[in-house]
Amino acid sequence: MSVLERIQGPDDLKALTRPELDTLAREIRTFLVDEVSRTGGHLGPNLGVVELTIAIHRVFSSPRDAVVFDTGHQSYVHKLLTGRHDFSGLRKQGGLSGYPSRAESEHDVVESSHASSSLSWAHGIAAGRVVAGERDRHTIAVIGDGALTGGMAWEAINNIAAERDLPLVIVVNDNERSYAPTRGGLADHLATLRTTRGYERFLDWGKSTLHRTPVVGGAMYETLHGVKKGIKDIVAPQGLFEDLGLKYIGPVDGHDEAALEQALRRARSFDGPVLVHVITQKGKGYDPAVNDESDQFHAVGVINPETGLPLEISGRSWTDEFSDALVQLGEEREDVVAITAAMMIPVGLDAFAKRFPKRTFDVGIAEQHATTMAAGLAYAGLHPVVAIYATFLNRAFDQLLMDCALHKAGVTFVLDRSGVTGPDGASHHGMWDMSLVGVVPGLHLAAPRDGQQIPLALRAAVDISDAPSVIRFPKGSAGDAIAAVRSVGGVDVLAEPDDGSVDLLLVGVGSMAATALTVADKLGAEGFRVRVVDPVWALPVNPVLGELADAAGRVAVVEDNSVSGGVGSHVVQSLRDTGSDVPVDLFGLPREFLDHGSRGQVLDRVGLTPEAIAEKLHDTLR
């Protein structure tokens, strides 16, 4: 039996010898490469925290001590050490989640997988236990240097530092990266800490000298104190944390398990909040990841474990189409600039950044700042394109509403991974963006039905100078282009009966246009006459939709957004505002959190497939 197979919970770690711990670390890395290469997932981050996670579980006692992982994509090792060894269904329906999951284990605390929130969670847990008189229970927050660029993390640090008796350990997992290299002033500060180790040696020397020279101890102390004060900012830039009131330990080699244990035991012995600065290497132990300069295998699909090369090759993605379109637009218009929040490569801005480095801004994990900065750029005469995942727009809604829309700022938001994203689960589905932006006055929303529509939508969006605009598209391959039969006042007709008579107007929003066409075919085989349209610009609702609805006598709207507050609800409101009482059927995602699984599995589970929609409409139209 391997050492890993003997680990069914954290307590099993505590009896291991030093050689067994080294063996365990090697076995975990081999396991991760073998298993994640079959399923896809976050490989690089987990390879980097093997020794760190082992040390945390040897020093602390989960679940009595709460371990909170920021974002949670680096929790695979934690899953293994808490007895979850079956990774065959990782990120698949019915299998392990790619993030911590309370349904899986009592050792999992936070499962939202949005970055920079761990310190607020940890503060609340630690403070709550103090109130309950449980001061002997520690809370450990593991946060990466990338997530530490988020403003929410610093709001938490500001408050944590004010509570000097809080049993809270902050572990900064510093690998110089989020997806790509971490940028900004904090990154520069941490880089200085990595290369500055003289302070601890200086203090150790001072303490030993005082111990050996008791006769002149007082004078020696005063001298040491003065020297320390003078050189602190040179050899001790950890003053940023210490001056806030946080004890600082580090930097610690994140791949030296014994050193990690020593640092964590020291942190545990303090009476107040402590920051332990750990230096790790993303992708540690796996050459293809270490040698990949782009994202060091942050997230992979199915790969060859020996070479790291993908086994699944798909066509051009929606992101590819946007990337090329933005570069072309950048060549034509010098006022177009791009912003992202630590997602340069995933959202396809890397090509634009390479061509126009001075017109590209990566603000770190700070969607709020990105949005208000975009409003400022617009005021300065530029047209910013803010590219983020749809799920992360949630974090910047206030800034979109009050800084962009209220000020009539011409800012374009490009939302990648909209709708059902699949394997990453509830927190990553982009299923609320159209509901959120639908309440923003003056906002324009486009949902391209295929990749060829993205350049058209982008060109139209950057021409809007007096209001924010949004373009949203899903994850994966863009598929085949869907040609329009004709266009009516800006609405594309995708299919209709030859004689023009219609029983149903079927509105397919964005990528659901293909689903709407299949539904029309199924209903057509039953003798129903269906006109399928793509509104192109979903918001504000084009009045032409009202005219087409009245001509049909019945409407159905299909979208991969929450049905609550989605485009369909705006179509209904638009019809009622004009006095139309045409019945409308709405098809979208239910108002609930949807578990991980493939996109097809999730859509089937919620009844958003052509078969399910056609069956419901068939019963309605009879």
Check whether 291 is labelled as a binding-site residue: no
Task: Kindly state whether residue 577 falls inside one of the protein's structural domains.
Answer: yes
Set 92, 395, 522, 529: catalytic member: 395
Set 35, 111, 321, 367: catalytic member: 367
| Cα angle, residue 237 at apex, residues 231 and 240 outer, rounded to 5° | 120
- Looking at residue 224, its pLDDT comes to 40
- Looking at residue 390, its pLDDT comes to 94
Give the amino acid at 324. D
Per residue in 212-251, pLDDT tens? 444 344 444 334 444 444 434 444 445 667 777 788 898 8
Check whether 353 is labelled as a binding-site residue: no
**What's the token pair of residue 239?**
């003053």
Q: Tell me, yes or no, whether 416 and 518 share the same domain.
A: no
Is 475 catalytic? The answer is no
Q: Tell me, yes or no, whether 68 and 126 share the same domain.
A: yes
Nearest to 367 by CA among 117, 567, 591: 117
Per residue in 269-307, pLDDT tens? 988 899 999 999 888 887 777 876 666 567 777 777 777
Check whether 175 is labelled as a binding-site residue: yes
CB 47 within 8 A of CB 29: yes
Task: Tally the domains of the chain.
Answer: 4
Bridge-based pairing state of the strands 504-508 and 555-562: parallel
| Percent of the chain whose pLDDT exceeds 70 | 87
Q: Tell me, yes or no, whether 252 and 375 share the same domain.
A: no
Is 395 catalytic? The answer is yes
Q: Tell me, yes or no, whether 80 and 105 share the same domain.
A: yes
Is 106 catalytic? The answer is no
Check whether 367 is labelled as a binding-site residue: yes
- What are the residues whose beta carbons fall under 8 Å from the beta carbon of 375, sequence distance 6 or more? 399, 403, 404, 407, 409, 411
Q: Tell me, yes or no, whether 418 and 284 share the same domain.
A: no
pTM summary value = 0.84
Check whether 294 is labelled as a binding-site residue: no
Check whether 492 is labelled as a binding-site residue: no
Domain that holds residue 284: 4-195+238-290
Check whether 114 is labelled as a binding-site residue: yes
Per residue in 108-129, pLDDT tens? 999 878 888 899 999 999 999 9
Q: Tell me, yes or no, whether 226 and 277 share the same domain.
A: no
Nearest to 181 by CA among 194, 191, 172: 191
Find the range with the poorest average confidence among 52-66, 175-189, 239-253, 502-516. Answer: 175-189
Cis before residue 610, ω within 30 degrees of 0? no
Cα 250 from Cα 279, distance rounded (Å): 9
Task: Kindly state whether residue 587 falls inside one of the protein's structural domains.
Answer: yes
State in Å, rounded, how far the first CA of the chain is from the last one. 64
Q: Tell me, yes or no, whether 29 and 178 share the same domain.
A: yes
Set 91, 282, 522, 531: catalytic member: 282
Q: Tell me, yes or no, whether 544 and 584 share the same domain.
A: yes
Task: Kindly state whether residue 309 falls inside one of the protein's structural domains.
Answer: no
Check whether 184 is labelled as a binding-site residue: no
